[in-house]
Amino acid sequence: MHIETFELERMQSLWENLVELNLTESGIHPFTLRELLSDDEIDQVLDARLGYGWTNGEPDLREAIAAYYPGATADNVLVTNGSAEANFLAMWSLFESGDEVVLMLPNYMQIWGLARALEVEVKPFTLREDRGWAPDLDEIRSLVSPKTRAIVLCNPNNPTGAVLDRATMAEIVAIANDVDAIVYADEVYKGVELDGQEGPSFRDLDDRAIVAAGLSKALAHPGLRIGWLVGPEDFIAEAWRRNDYTTITTSVVSELVARMILEPERRQKILERNRTMLRKNLALLQGWIDQRQEHFRFVPPQAGGMAFLHYDHDINSTAFTTRLRGERSLLVLPGDVYGMDHYLRLGIGERSDYLLAGLERLGQAFDEL
pLDDT tens per residue, range 265-300: 999 999 999 999 999 999 999 999 999 989 999 999
pLDDT score of 230: 98
pLDDT at 11: 85
- Asked if residue 159 lies in contact with residue 347, where contact means CB atoms within 8 angstroms, the answer is no
Per-residue model confidence (pLDDT) at position 2:
87
For residue 303, list its beta bridge partners: 193
Q: Quick one: residue 333, left, alpha or beta (phi over 0 = left, psi -120 to 50 = alpha)?
A: beta
pLDDT at 303: 97
Which residues are registered as beta bridge partners of 135? 127
Beta-bridged to residue 150, according to DSSP, are 101, 182
- Return the pLDDT at 13: 86
At 291, the amino acid letter reads Q
pLDDT recorded at residue 215 = 98
Work out the number of other CB atoms within 10 angstroms of the CB of residue 59.
11
> Which residue type sits at 74?
A
Say whether pTM exceeds 0.85.
yes
pLDDT along the chain (369 residues), means of 10: 87 90 95 96 97 97 97 98 98 96 96 95 97 98 97 98 98 98 98 96 98 98 98 98 96 98 98 98 97 93 96 96 97 96 97 97 94
Q: Is 50 exposed, middle or buried (0-12, 13-18, 19+ CB in 10 A)?
A: exposed
**Is the Cβ–Cβ distance between 36 and 261 less than 8 Å?**
yes
Q: Output the pLDDT for position 12.
A: 87
CA-based max dimension of the chain: 59
All domains in the chain, ordered by first residue: 7-32+267-368 (3.90.1150.10), 49-263 (3.40.640.10)
